[in-house]
Amino acid sequence: MFNIGIITASDKGSRGEREDISGRTIAAMVDGLGEVKSYKVVPDDIDQLRQEIITMADDLKLDLILTTGGTGLGPRDVTPDATLSVIDRHVPGIAEAMRAKSLEKTNRAMLSRAVAGLRGRTLIINLPGSPKGVSECLEIVLPALEHGLSIMKGEVSECARH
């Protein structure tokens, strides 16, 4: 079982003007993977997003941080920028897989700027802001996450299937 953090990037959500259904969707979907140790709703602000990611990764030492929101082309969509500013290594296959599968459902998937990467021994994945997008993208990556997180933590060393 892994320690998980959820960050929702939403100006309205951070002010209590919108219910965070996407964050709750993430929490429900990762229940079998681990325990949500931290759940924050922050404004679409690069500095606040960056600081929350750093706190969850460095101070709380979470294994996985899932963000929702702020991955589009809007001027306040800065979640990928915040993530890129704090990761040590990219894990491009995760975002590529989410976009590829999502493109089968909507051509708008190509507008996602979502990224994934490692900060130390924490995997950070940007998810869309809509509950439907969160659900569809997590369905794609969840089957590989347990193995990937185990490798990241040094608990297993082989990726090859026998």
pLDDT in tens, 27-48: 999 999 999 999 999 999 999 9
- The yes-or-no verdict on residue 122 having pLDDT over 60 is yes
Instruction: Specify whether the CB–CB gap between 31 and 89 falls below 8 A.
Output: no
The CA-to-CA distance between both ends of the chain, in Å, stands at 24
Measured CA to CA, the distance from residue 32 to residue 20 in angstroms comes to 21
pLDDT, greater one: 1 or 157: 1
pLDDT for 159: 59
Q: What is the pLDDT of residue 158?
A: 62
Residue in 17, 75, 23 with CA at minimum distance from that of residue 52? 23
Average pLDDT, the chain: 95
User: All domains of the chain, ordered by start, with CATH?
Assistant: 2-152 (3.40.980.10)
Mean pLDDT, residues 54-65 taken together: 98
Q: State residue 91's pLDDT score.
A: 98
All residues at 6 or more sequence positions from 42 whose CB lies less than 8 Å from its CB, including other chains: 7, 8, 9, 10, 14, 48, 49, 52
- In the block, tokens 């990928």 appear at 80
Alpha-carbon distance 56 to 67, whole Å?
12
CA neighbor of 80 nearest in space, from 128, 113, 124: 113
Q: How many CB atoms lie within 10 A of CB 121?
A: 14
Token match 């920028």: residue? 81
Q: What confidence tens digit (pLDDT) does each residue in 131-157 have? A: 999 999 999 999 999 999 999 998 876
Q: What is the pLDDT of residue 161?
A: 57
Identify the helix (H) or strand (E) that includes residue 47.
Answer: helix 46-54
Which has more confidence, 162 or 93?
Answer: 93
Q: Please give the pLDDT value at position 155.
A: 85
